[in-house]
Amino acid sequence: MDLSTIIHKTAADLRVAPNFSDYEAERHGFSWDAIRRTLGAQPDGGLNIAWQAVDRHVESGAGDKVAFRFLSRGGPAARAVTYAQLASLTNRFCNVLRELGVGKGDRIFILAGRIPELYTALLGGLKNGCVVSPLFSAFGPEPIATRLNLGKGSVLVTTDQLFMRKVAAWRDRMPSLKHILLVAEDGGSTAIPGTLDLAAMMRSATDACQITPTTSEDMALLHFTSGTTGTPKGAVHVHGAALTHWATGRYALDLHADDIYWCTADPGWVTGTSYGAIAPLLHGITSIVDLEEFDAQRWYGILHDEGVTVWYTAPTAIRMLMKAGTEAARVRAFRRLRFIASVGEPLNPEAVWWGKNVLGLPIHDNWWQTETGGIMIANTPAFDIKPGSMGRPLPGVDAAIVRRNEDGRAELIDSPGTEGELALRSGWPSMFRAYLNEEARYRKCFAHEWYLTGDLARRDTDGYYWFVGRTDDVIKSSGHLIGPFEVESALMEHPAVAEAGVIGKPDPVAGEVVKAFVSLNKGFEPSEALRLELLGHGRSRLGASVAPKDIAFLAELPRTRSGKIMRRLLKARELGLPEGDTSTLETGS
Ligand code: AMP
């Protein structure tokens, strides 16, 4: 069959009336002010994500509704937390912080898997007016310390085991850190010197709490992302982002009040926070949170047994399910499932059709990035899917394809089908407000009113956007954005390595995997033993999901005359592609 065939929406595909059906009319009538009015006024006149996401529902009488169902293997069947319980837990956590003298604007880092305490700390921290930064729990000690130091974290919430494995030995290198709150992974208590037992502090805290007043422009979340060069970038997000999270939950995920929703993203990345916690809570619905890692049978079991209605996942996960075979899916019928969306990497047309043919529903790709704070371009229930396209800009979002001019202006490319940089008109509520302490880097992302995304794309005659690639060298592996510079720096800390160049190598399941090329210092010779040692060094410093999966030795790395390693050339050579413009290549390499 022709995989590019348009998937027309039928009543069977939709199953319930979607939140909107006329795309043009909805865009035309849209206003962010109206969304603000829909969310409702807070008693203190301000805006706080946690109040909107939790307390608002309790005050309107929906406190008994389940907010989260936490699933774990071998543990209790499922732990359900209602909105009223979540309000109480987050109040307590807010009071724990106050007890420690932690106040508005202080930075709280969270390093944990998808445990209940992560959600409590995230929302309780926001209630206290703190800035919360969730970290990917699979990071190794180096990326953790780098981010915590850049963000001047004063509180770290983590588990006893993660602390011992990843933080304890690096503790002295994190001078801003004042309090370490530990969750015992066995459910008991912890008593590690220099740390505090969170469970004990929660027990003795009261659950009466006045939220610290915040406005829509107060800083709420700090999400780190990677660029091609330099340190990771701390994208600053504000409480007003809640408007985008609510609106996109309505348009791109089609959330309805009685949904059982499952977002599979890890909260250490922006999707897991914005759509694994905030958006579904703003809609007052029930979310499934699985504490375990990917397992095809388990995932099909969850979709079926939990009666998931809306599922938000990622291309790598879908490709892993496809690899597990059709039979595994067909064992169960997913009668309640009615909407599937995906984000993070290009979703190939095969995967869109696999959804339709095997799960009975097409997969709706959508696009956004850490900086945009929320979904910007999406396939929605309101229009047909062109498999392979990211969809169309959501109501409230203006997108364009542009070319950057020498003078820094963005020239709009009007002709459909022409490739250029994807740009968004500034002004949506969840737009990042800064790269922490990096004003010049932030300013470089804008050309007048346009935010330049760093992605290449094209728009077709029907206004659908098609992803083409990145303008830079960042790597997307299993949906995680990896900065080559961070990997190169860690490799160069090994005494054998003189220089390192890191690329993303295409992979049928993960999208890309990290491959490093290294040249060695005098006195070191390439050998299999050294290769394995360097792979191990990468894993222990960076964590398995960021470390190179492959390392090759080169006598010298190709460099520009100004001394920059030409990753583009390394990649072209690796893939046997044309080497392109090599006029800046330093001769002799
Ligand atoms: P992150 O900031 O880690 O969420 O990564 C954002 C980047 O992931 C984007 O700039 C794109 O390069 C890529 N990305 C996200 N969604 C999609 C998508 N639907 N199709 C293709 N690439 C995507």
Q: Which two tokens stand for residue 112?
A: 């944990």
Q: In terms of Cα–Cα distance, which of 508, 503, 534 is closest to 520?
A: 534
The secondary structure of 279-331 as a DSSP string is: HHHHTT-EEEEE-S---HHHHHHHHHHTT--EEEE-HHHHHHHHHT-HHHHHT
Whole-angstrom Cα distance, residue 204 to residue 526? Answer: 58
Residues 6+ apart with CB under 8 A from 451: 371, 372, 423, 424, 425, 426, 431, 445
Length of the chain: 589
Which atom in ligand 1 lies closest to the alpha carbon of residue 370? 2
The secondary structure of 111-175 as a DSSP string is: E-SS-HHHHHHHHHHHHTT-EEEEE-TT--HHHHHHHHHHTT-SEEEEEHHHIIIIIGGGGGG-T
391 in contact with ligand 1, CB cutoff 6 A: no
First to last CA, the chain: 47
Q: In terms of Cα–Cα distance, which of 47, 172, 174, 179 is closest to 106?
A: 179
Give the three-class secondary structure for 98.
helix
Read off the pLDDT of residues 496-540 as tens digits, 9 standing for 90 and up.
999 999 999 999 999 999 999 999 999 999 999 999 999 999 999
Asked if 400 and 450 count as a contact pair (C-beta separation under 8 A), the reply is yes
Nearest CA to ligand 1 atom 9: 369
For residue 76, pLDDT over 70 is answered with no
Q: In terms of Cα–Cα distance, which of 300, 321, 375, 380 is closest to 344?
A: 375
376 in contact with ligand 1, CB cutoff 6 A: no
Question: What's the gap in Å between 76 CA and the centre of ligand 1?
Answer: 36
Q: Given this model, what pLDDT does residue 408 score?
A: 79
Q: In terms of Cα–Cα distance, which of 286, 246, 276 is closest to 62?
A: 286
Which atom in ligand 1 lies closest to the alpha carbon of residue 365? 19
Which DSSP category does 55 fall into?
A: I
Q: What confidence category does residue 587 fall into, taking pLDDT thresholds of 50, 70 and 90?
A: low
377 in contact with ligand 1, CB cutoff 6 A: no
346 in contact with ligand 1, CB cutoff 6 A: yes
Question: What's the gap in Å between 517 CA and the centre of ligand 1?
Answer: 25
Give Cα 501 distance to the centre of its chain: 25
- Residue of 76 and 182 predicted with greater confidence: 182
Q: Which two tokens stand for residue 361?
A: 């529903």
Residues 6+ apart with CB under 8 A from 573: 579
The secondary structure of 217-244 as a DSSP string is: TSEEEEEEE--SSSSPEEEEEETTHHHH
Give the three-class secondary structure for 56.
helix
The secondary structure of 365-428 as a DSSP string is: EEE--GGG-S--EE--TTS-B-TT--BEEPTT--EEEEEE-TTSPEEE--STT--EEEEEES--
Which atom in ligand 1 lies closest to the alpha carbon of residue 480? 3
* 454 HSE (CA, 13 A, CB side): 17
Range 564-578 average pLDDT: 90
344 in contact with ligand 1, CB cutoff 6 A: yes
Question: What's the gap in Å between 324 CA and the centre of ligand 1?
Answer: 25
How much of the chain is in helix, strand and coil states, percent to nearest 5? Answer: 30, 25, 45
In CATH, which superfamily holds the domain spanning 475-575? ANL, C-terminal domain (3.30.300.30)
Q: What confidence category does residue 579 fall into, taking pLDDT thresholds of 50, 70 and 90?
A: confident
Whole-angstrom Cα distance, residue 515 to residue 549? Answer: 6
163 in contact with ligand 1, CB cutoff 6 A: no
Read off the pLDDT of residues 179-200 as tens digits, 9 standing for 90 and up.
999 999 999 999 999 999 999 9
How much of the chain exceeds pLDDT 90, in percent?
A: 88
Q: In terms of Cα–Cα distance, which of 271, 269, 306, 305 is closest to 287?
A: 306
Whole-angstrom Cα distance, residue 138 to residue 327? Answer: 31
Question: What's the gap in Å between 49 CA and the centre of ligand 1?
Answer: 24
Asked if 78 and 71 count as a contact pair (C-beta separation under 8 A), the reply is yes
Question: What's the gap in Å between 369 CA and the centre of ligand 1?
Answer: 5
Q: What confidence category does residue 589 fall into, taking pLDDT thresholds of 50, 70 and 90?
A: very low
- Residue type for position 441: R
470 in contact with ligand 1, CB cutoff 6 A: yes
**Cα dihedral 332, 333, 339, 341 in deg (nearest 10):** 20
Residue recorded with tokens 């880097």: 441
For residue 276, pLDDT over 90 is answered with yes
Residue recorded with tokens 């892993």: 320
Nearest CA to ligand 1 atom 5: 369
Q: Which two tokens stand for residue 540?
A: 């222990």
Q: Given this model, what pLDDT does residue 101 score?
A: 98
Domains of the chain, by residue range, sit at 11-21+32-456, 475-575
Residue recorded with tokens 């098609």: 466
Whole-angstrom Cα distance, residue 513 to residue 476? Answer: 8
Average pLDDT, the chain: 94
CATH of domain 11-21+32-456: 3.40.50.12780
Q: Given this model, what pLDDT does residue 368 score?
A: 98
Q: What confidence category does residue 59 fall into, taking pLDDT thresholds of 50, 70 and 90?
A: very high
Read off the pLDDT of residues 11-25 as tens digits, 9 standing for 90 and up.
777 789 999 999 999
DSSP strand pairing (260-263 vs 310-313) = parallel
Asked if 380 and 389 count as a contact pair (C-beta separation under 8 A), the reply is no
Question: What's the gap in Å between 368 CA and the centre of ligand 1?
Answer: 6
Q: Given this model, what pLDDT does residue 523 score?
A: 95
* 523 HSE (CA, 13 A, CB side): 4
Q: Given this model, what pLDDT does residue 331 score?
A: 82
Ligand 1 mutation pick, 316, 369, 473, max ligand atoms within 8 A of CB:
369
Beta bridge partners of 476: 481
Give Cα 105 distance to the centre of its chain: 23
286 in contact with ligand 1, CB cutoff 6 A: no
How wide is the angle at C-alpha 500 spanned by C-alphas 498 and 506, nearest 5°? Answer: 160
Nearest CA to ligand 1 atom 8: 344
Q: In terms of Cα–Cα distance, which of 458, 472, 225 is closest to 344?
A: 225
Question: What's the gap in Å between 545 CA and the centre of ligand 1?
Answer: 17
Whole-angstrom Cα distance, residue 44 to residue 49? Answer: 13
Q: What confidence category does residue 413 fall into, taking pLDDT thresholds of 50, 70 and 90?
A: very high
Question: What's the gap in Å between 393 CA and the centre of ligand 1?
Answer: 15
How much of the chain exceeds pLDDT 70, in percent?
A: 99
How wide is the angle at C-alpha 170 spanned by C-alphas 165 and 172, nearest 5°? Answer: 140
Q: Which helix (H) or strand (E) holds 544?
A: none
